Structure 1
């Protein structure tokens, strides 16, 4: 969503003048010289293809989240199992947060994009829009990570300690947990309002984030460490909890006696598979931004980023573009990894395996003796 045609052109006030220049060329040269005295001439021109990419990305994200919300709301209204209903409550809240987090920052980025972006000389300045956009990036970045961690911990407790889970986890407490998650993310996003960090425009001038590339102060490094640390800790806890849940379900499946009732386990398997999908998506989409922002802030604060500044700018832009895809891919986890879809995939795979086994069975060596015996009997 953050593509922008960025052209730099510099000229010197001591350029030689040609006597054969036409009037238009002389005027253009004078204009360039006047701008060059103030600094580099930067032309920010959004391309039509870039605008189309932004619009298509926003449209895809909005449609995906709406479809997933409809599926989850329908499943939540028909669900009678309490543990499944609590999971669907968390999942619906996550998709709704992704939807709002895709629309609000996306609309602001599109507005900056169409207006031509911000001049590089103003990157370190921060107006009201930059403060709001930067806070939105932090808030809507932490919320999905926190929710994925909470969902993984809830399922781990439900799989390993079902009796304790039934006595501790209720819908009311789940709603309180969701409110605490939103409040915690909001508190982190509002820290720059109390001079504990700052937001700044980022290259190419169409988005705002924590100040990590230039004029980074000690409070900015602390802010980045807090943001990245909370994000990576959430991913680590989700990884541990999902691993424990998965191993517990696999062992229970292996120990299950033939003919025993296992419908409850199928619900647990579905939820754990979806949580693994959420975790993998979050790790792929958010890890680069969490890591690169921390590295950029530390190197900028120590003054060792000057020689690699352009590389870090490119990495930050690529990382934030990848992070925006988390809000597009999350809904497809629920759309594609539902039990009905997984059952169809399993049946198709089973049919294909059975068909392949039938074909191979026709050419097994054991089939030849039986045919020879049949011929002997006929004789």
Structure 2
């Protein structure tokens, strides 16, 4: 009788041992995956930050060049005025130092040095030297953009590999349990067979997104009766998919949002502009565009500093977003310029929105705005409509 009892309990022991081993493997694999994913996510964010800082540095460099040309045209001492009035050389050198560390960490070739004389003036950034430096900067920007895309793609690949690892492990454990309890756990065996079939489909034709994969598995398993064990497994898989999808959405936000204002960035705006124009051509509808520019923003920056200027940009962005409709695309176009895309909107409606926004901004108090030429911070707006 004792031997019969041992033989009877043997499948249960096998399932317990196998399940425990599989659970430990899942825990170890999940911990390793989360560690790798966290490091890769940090790398993606660092690479994106490096790219954004390079773009910002390019803007400051172009601003410096415009000031230099304007001063030369007026017959003034460009470098002396730039150093004393605008503090741009010091700002450029500070940004150069920060970028040097970021480029080294990202594995991107360093920029040519900003050489200064003993008075702190940017001596070589004129003529051919300036164009050479700007070309090197543009090359670094393109490299940073490319590496950011590669790192993001690598993170997605790691997510997919780990997903298949988990599903394969669950399949192996489930088949073992089904073999041991074939007659007693028929409700468990059938859903697992369906899961195996779904895995074969995934191997032949991977869906475009993790969300599609999760929904397909959920649909397949919902069509048949299953035990509580399979229900828990399904819920665990769905929770895991939801976590990965949330992190992928975070990565998407990093790629389409402007860091300073949290509005859409220029690239995202440009993509939607092209799409809406093509839609207008096909449907005969109208699409409007508004360009918003902060008046005398450089003067405000020079008097109050870039930190105060960044706060103004963020506040302006919040006001712009609050006045937009759900279908509108508000974006930071560059510097102190904002762009608003109005799908399926005529010029009259777009003008009303822009005028309302101009009044709201004019009535909003800003710190130290009384020093502005108009006694307050104001914006100018232009409207264009297609067709």
Query: So what's the TM-score if we normalise by structure 1?
Result: 0.29
Query: So what's the TM-score if we normalise by structure 2?
Result: 0.28
Higher relative contact order (CA 8 A, sep 6+): 1
